[in-house]
Amino acid sequence: MYILNWGKMGAADAASKLGDNAYSADTTVGLIEYEKNGNKKKLMLVDAGMAVAWPEIKKNLEKYGSLNQVTHILMTHWDQDHGQNLKELAGKLVLSRAGTARIGTLDFGQINDLCPNGYIENEYIKWLETNSAHSRDELVYIIDSKNEGLIAFLGDLIFAPCSVLPIANLIGFDTGFTINPVKKYLFLKKLVRDYPNLSQAYIGHYNKPLSYDDLIQHIKDLESEEYQRFLKTFLNKQEPENKKLRSQLK
């Protein structure tokens, strides 16, 4: 397993012409080198990244193989910052919770049709459902790799660890960009409980991996009074909102 591009967040480059106080986000892109039934080496991407980063992604990919060897793109979710480069990958099989398709075709199915055992091509590449935490089409990928050990690609389940993103800022992100922060928090707790031998996790917008201890600390930070109060407020708002929507249907 290799990283082709690190995600990062920060002020937009002046050359972007986005104006003062503009913000920019890049996306972590992973590469999996695998074999199936002892056949020749093949490659998978985890997320495709943003178009502006494609030259760097392609250059780094070619250190390990060629675009012709790429068979799958494993999408953590379909947000545009994670998938702009799908246009560069015609004919490859792209997977997400929303389903599967070969890029540039009308081929579309359900992920369970191709991966009935929770594996993708072999038992070392697994996917887990988050049940619509950050995004409705979201999957987490667990890779048991020779070079990095057992690792996880979490997409945007963690924007950045609380050690660098204050809780108040995290609450702002989760308010605007997370479908259900309670599900996200509970999924992360279950992940560290179910995978105590996880060596590290890769997240969508950060420039280095998180260790297992980093994940534990992030969850402890989420158990702060401020964030737990936010989660309770989120839950309390759900039923009134649903009631309002039901009344509109009448």
- The whole domain housing 142 covers 2-249
User: What whole-number distance in Å separates Cα of residue 248 and Cα of residue 245?
Assistant: 5
Q: What pLDDT, in 10s, does the model give residues 68-92?
A: 999 999 999 999 999 999 999 999 9
Cβ atoms 47, 29 nearer than 8 A = yes
Eight-class DSSP state of 121: S
- In this predicted structure, what is the pLDDT of residue 143? 97
Q: What pLDDT, in 10s, does the model give residues 123-132?
A: 999 999 999 9
The count of structural domains within the chain is: 1
Mean pLDDT, range 98-107, rounded to an integer? 82
User: What whole-number distance in Å separates Cα of residue 135 and Cα of residue 62?
Assistant: 31
Q: What is the 3-state secondary structure (H, E, C) of 184-237?
A: HHHHHHHHHHHCCCCCEEEECCCCCCEEHHHHHHHHHHHCCHHHHHHHHHHHHH
Please say if the pLDDT value at position 97 is more than 70. yes
Structure tokens at 56: 């760097």
Q: What is the pTM of this model?
A: 0.91
Residue 8's CB is within 10 A of a number of other CB atoms, namely: 15
Please say if the pLDDT value at position 98 is more than 60. yes
Please say if the pLDDT value at position 113 is more than 90. no
| 126/39: higher pLDDT | 126
- Residue 219 binned pLDDT confidence (cut-offs 50, 70, 90): very high
- In this predicted structure, what is the pLDDT of residue 151? 98
Please say if the pLDDT value at position 64 is more than 80. yes
Summary mean pLDDT of the chain: 89
CATH code where residue 128 lies: 3.60.15.10
Picking from 44-58, 83-97, 104-118, which range would have the lowest pLDDT averaged per residue?
A: 104-118
